Structure 1
Amino acid sequence: MRRLAPMAISAAVLAVLAAGPAPAEQDMLLGADMASPAMTKAEMSRADVEALIARASGRPVDLSDRALSGLDLSGLDLRGANLRTARLNAADLRGTDLTGANLEQAWIIKADLTGAKLAGARMFGITARGANLTGADLSRAVPIGDFRGATMRGASLVGLRGGADLRNQSMGLMRAVFVSVNLAGANLTGADLGRARLDFANLTGADLTDVALTGADLSGADLTGATVAGADFRSADVGGAKLVDLKGQDRARDWAQRVNGDRAVVRRVE
């Protein structure tokens, strides 16, 4: 198996997740050569990965820093696998079991994770632009990374931890970036999305019961028909958001403390 040269991506990923209007946050791919073999090719075959799984005899496999882009890994058992800094761009991960996997600083741009199991997965610094996570299970996962334009339609994000940890911000405000993500019909019950970016996200029909949205950016988001009972809107920016036919709005927390409420579309559909 020919090992492709690793990229110096760790510092770049962490830098571009910094908060505020800095150019780095506007371009999460800053400093990465997306046309390089390390980002577009696979150094292993599916058979190679299956052999590693077999030799592991039930123990988590180590695929850290591997170039696996474009590879068919659908349906494999990768529970607890170490995929830290691995490149999985455009990989086929449909139905793959990644429960508890380490995907910190991994790249899964435009990868297909339809129906994948990612419960409890660690995704600090992940780059997942345009990834397809339709129907995936991300419950209790930690997706502190860039998911711009991804699809999570009907996914389970119960207890997901995507909020900023203000106790550890030496590198800036690290949080989930769900800009323009399709979360229609997703279950986010009890998720922490405090200070997360959800601007222009599609949250139609989503279950936001007891979700922490404190300080989150919901500007331009579509929450039509979403359930918001127990959700905390304190300091959440809803400018330009569609807050139409919300369910449980009377039980939402700190509803009066949302930001730019006068600029949101707020009405009930009869």
Structure 2
Amino acid sequence: MKPPIAILGLTIILGASPLAAQSMTDMVDLSSDAYTKAEMSRADIAIAIGKLQPGKKLNLSGKALNGLDLSGMDLRRVNLQAAHMMHTDFSNSNLDGVNLDSAWSLNSKWVGAKLRGASLFQTQLQGADLERVDFSGAHVAGDFSKASLRNAVFDKADLSPNEANQSMGLMRGTFKNSTLDGASFRGANMHRVLIEFSSLKDADLTGANLDDAELGGSSFEGANVSGANLVNADFTSANVGGIKNLKGAKNWDKAKGLPSTTQ
């Protein structure tokens, strides 16, 4: 096999299959220092933030911050684009408006964190604990597969792909085998979102735009879809028993894969 090369902070293994959207974990060496060690400590970051001049930001783009305890910190003035934050603890931290594009944070902890208006394009959060995280108004086009997102808030967030800028594939909100019980997506743009084999028990999808969403195999027991746009949403093999206000949704009759008993 040819030696790996680094592109955009990723260690790419040459000779592997073509890079595909939302499936990059097998394309990097997760055992390398870049994904296992930290270049800074919590104290280093706190001191650097404290020294910032008004209006300035701390640039930690591409930094290795793996395994750190950053819980409860105010990180609103930090740029974390392409940072490596594997197994890092952000519980109850404030990251409102923070740039997390292309960041890697697998199996990390974000319980109760604030990411309102943050940017998460191509962000890798597989297996993360994101319970009660507030993504309101955020741009969420990352991978949340196998993540726990119970009671997370995506109100008015944009989970859709930017179809004019997809050179590396279709980057969108991706939830495979994820737990979204009690999550709120009120008024969210979920155009072409991918939510497969996931649980959305008692989720609130009121007024969400789910056109062309791929929802196969997911469970919608108790989920509220009042006012949601379901045109071409694909529910093939999904559990829609107990779904609330289906006929109060927009274009529910144009959704795909709904059992005939619901139509």
Q: What is the TM-score normalised by the length of structure 1?
A: 0.87
Q: Is the Cα–Cα contact under 8 Å of residues 160 and 188 in structure 1 kept in the other structure?
A: yes
Q: What is the CA deviation profile of residues 57-116 of structure 1, one whole-angstrom value per residue up to 9, with x for unaligned ones?
A: 564321111100000111111014210110011001101110000000001101100000
Q: Does 1:10 align with 2:16?
A: no
Q: What is the CA deviation profile of residues 113-146 of structure 1, one whole-angstrom value per residue up to 9, with x for unaligned ones?
A: 0000100111111111011110111111112111
Question: Which residue number in structure 1 is paired with residue 46 of structure 2?
Answer: 50
Q: Determine helix, strand or coil for the equivalent of 1:145.
A: strand
Q: Does 1:258 align with 2:255?
A: yes
The alpha-carbon distance between structure 1 residues 123 and 246, as it changes in their structure 2 partners (threshold 3 A), is: same
Q: Does 1:73 align with 2:70?
A: yes
The alpha-carbon distance between structure 1 residues 146 and 107, as it changes in their structure 2 partners (threshold 3 A), is: same
Q: What is the TM-score normalised by the length of structure 2?
A: 0.89
Q: Does 1:175 align with 2:172?
A: yes
Q: Determine helix, strand or coil for the equivalent of 1:30.
A: helix
Task: State the alpha-carbon separation in 1 of the partners of residues 98 and 121 from structure 2.
Answer: 12
Instruction: Tell me how far 1:183 sits from its aligned partner.
Output: 0.8
Candidates 38, 41, 48, aligned match of 2:37: 41
Task: State the alpha-carbon separation in 2 of the partners of residues 80 and 196 from structure 1.
Answer: 29
Q: Is the Cα–Cα contact under 8 Å of residues 92 and 112 in structure 2 kept in the other structure?
A: yes
Question: Which residue number in structure 2 is paired with residue 18 of structure 1?
Answer: none
Q: Determine helix, strand or coil for the equivalent of 2:137.
A: coil
Q: Is the Cα–Cα contact under 8 Å of residues 19 and 168 in structure 2 kept in the other structure?
A: no
Task: State the alpha-carbon separation in 1 of the partners of residues 166 and 64 from structure 2.
Answer: 30
Question: Which residue number in structure 2 is paired with residue 147 of structure 1?
Answer: 144
Structure 1: give runs of 5+ residues left out of the alignment.
Answer: 1-6, 14-21
Q: Determine helix, strand or coil for the equivalent of 2:20.
A: helix
The alpha-carbon distance between structure 1 residues 144 and 9, as it changes in their structure 2 partners (threshold 3 A), is: farther
Task: State the alpha-carbon separation in 1 of the partners of residues 201 and 177 from structure 2.
Answer: 13
Q: Is the Cα–Cα contact under 8 Å of residues 209 and 229 in structure 1 kept in the other structure?
A: yes
Q: CA RMSD in A?
A: 2.3
Q: Determine helix, strand or coil for the equivalent of 2:50.
A: helix
More strand by share: 2
